[in-house]
Amino acid sequence: MFDLLGATIPRMRAAMVTGAVSSRDLVAGYLARIAAYDRQGPALNAISAVSASALDEAEARDAERRAGGGAGMLHGIPVIVKDNYETREMPTSVGSAALRGWVAPGDGEIVRRLRAAGAVIIAKANMHEFAYGITTVGSLFGAARNPYGLTRNPGGSSGGTGAAIAASFAAVGLGSDTCGSIRIPAAHNSLAGIRPTQGLTSRAGIVPLSSTQDIGGPMGRSVTDVAIVLDAIAGFDPADAQTAASDGNVPRSYLDGLRLDGLRGARIGVLGALFGDDPLDRTVGAIVRGAGEAMRRLGAEVEEIVIPGLADLLTDRMNGGLVLVHDFKFDIDAYFASRPTAPVRSLAGVLESGLFHPDVEANLRNSAAILSRDTAEYWAHVAKRARLREAILGVMAAHRLDAIAYPPIRRQAVLIGEAQVGSTCRLSANSGLPAVVVPAGFTGDGMPVGIEMLGRAWSEARLLGLAYAFEQATRHRRAPRCVPWLG
């Protein structure tokens, strides 16, 4: 029987080409795992909707292959997308009871590109309501569980995607990252994940949290799978002006940079300021520093670095989230105005309905209280982001660095219902620079830890190459025990 738990996309594709397995077999196998483990068994609660047409679409991909088509890497591959991606056949609810059952008019651009590449979208994943948090809880589906510790959160806001891919509910998944929402779930679920350079992938058809920070990207059980998905979704979209900057900055394939010796001669700067000095930060910090030492043994030059003025560049009176808090009200209102079939018309309407989880109420009300985005304070903090980027790039140039390394989050996943602290999301999110996360090990009680590496704009190929070399040499990822093979 085909190994759904450990197979990479290239292995699945090769098996389909030889006839050892079909796309229908893959889809049926993953749907069986969702049925067995998402609402019963360990009850991960990672899935928000399952596609009723997934098996039919898989059969259509098989027919295309038999007819001589389907040469692409994603052809017939089962994929899960986060519940803030618009899909034509499944509800888009962003985890909120206020949007229960609403089906968007069509696919978002990234979903459209995946389907065009032959992927089969089999399900949508639970998420932190409105993507406004990092633990994955919402009024419509409740809390998702971490498959490595069922009493703990899977990260967020793309925590459902993270838990689902870690539990092998699909080959690969899509998340969105506004401030850590791909990278934190990747770290908490022993996955690879990438937040691309702002503008590399389209935001069209993703329910917004912050137009200045939102971006979509993949999470997978291997760096190879992440690179394959990025190949399919990167590039200019006329519906998203921000993606015009990607023109000329997308390589032939992100797979080309994946080499076993990818760390040899690389220069990695370890950013000590993001490790934290609280005793509770030490466990994760020690694992990430150990990952840095492993990179040194693999041929990289690793040194401690300091970014002058970093604390001020990342700080504002809203704990670094001032721009995001302002953006949400106006971006979500504009989104609802452009979707006349949506059951709510504004953020105020969501609050009036009372259909939201208590854990997101404070965030929703903080944004609703904003009277204008066109203020001196808002634009001053937008301008500060350019200075942050310049400071990062200046240090990288001075030290001739390929990447800056640090923990994506300084603490392991906490118990469901507790406040999760320790995020380092703003370095990438506020600068717009890309960052990749790859598994770095496990805590003593079996919870995953990741290491994040940030690079220059459009350096995704280099970052994925570094992550691949580390992943292949260390093999830190292991499957969660609570979701075993279905015999």
Amino acid (1-letter code) at residue 296: R
Q: How far apart are CA 389 and CA 372, in angstroms?
A: 26
What digits encode the pLDDT tens for the residues 349-403? 999 999 999 999 999 999 999 999 999 999 999 999 999 999 999 999 999 999 9
- Label residue 268 by pLDDT band (50, 70, 90): very high
SS3 content of the chain, % helix, strand, coil (to 5): 40, 15, 45
Asked if 237 and 204 count as a contact pair (C-beta separation under 8 A), the reply is yes
- Label residue 1 by pLDDT band (50, 70, 90): confident
Query: Which member of 82, 124, 329, 384 is catalytic?
Result: 82
Query: Which member of 22, 96, 168, 181 is catalytic?
Result: 181
Q: What is the pLDDT of residue 49?
A: 98
Give mean pLDDT, residues 142-155: 98
Query: Which member of 157, 190, 246, 428 is catalytic?
Result: 157
Sketch out the chain's domains with CATH numbers.
9-474 (3.90.1300.10)
Bridge partners of residue 192, in order along the sequence: 220
Q: How far apart are CA 176 and CA 198, in angstroms?
A: 12
Residue 236 to residues 242, 243, 451: CA-CA distances in angstroms? Answer: 8, 5, 29
Q: What percent of the chain has pLDDT over 90?
A: 99
pLDDT exceeds 80 at position 87 = yes
Is 157 a catalytic site residue? yes
pLDDT exceeds 90 at position 130 = yes
What digits encode the pLDDT tens for the residues 164-221? 999 999 999 999 999 999 999 999 999 999 999 999 999 999 999 999 999 999 999 9
Q: How far apart are CA 117 and CA 231, in angstroms?
A: 10
Q: Is 421 exposed, middle or buried (0-12, 13-18, 19+ CB in 10 A)?
A: middle
Amino acid (1-letter code) at residue 85: Y
Q: What is the DSSP string of 110-161?
A: HHHHHHHTT-EEEEEE--SGGG-SSS---TTT----BTTBTTB---SSSHHH
What digits encode the pLDDT tens for the residues 101-113? 999 999 999 999 9
What digits encode the pLDDT tens for the residues 394-414? 999 999 999 999 999 999 999
Q: What is the pLDDT of residue 487?
A: 73
Q: What is the pLDDT of residue 441?
A: 98
Q: What is the pLDDT of residue 6?
A: 87
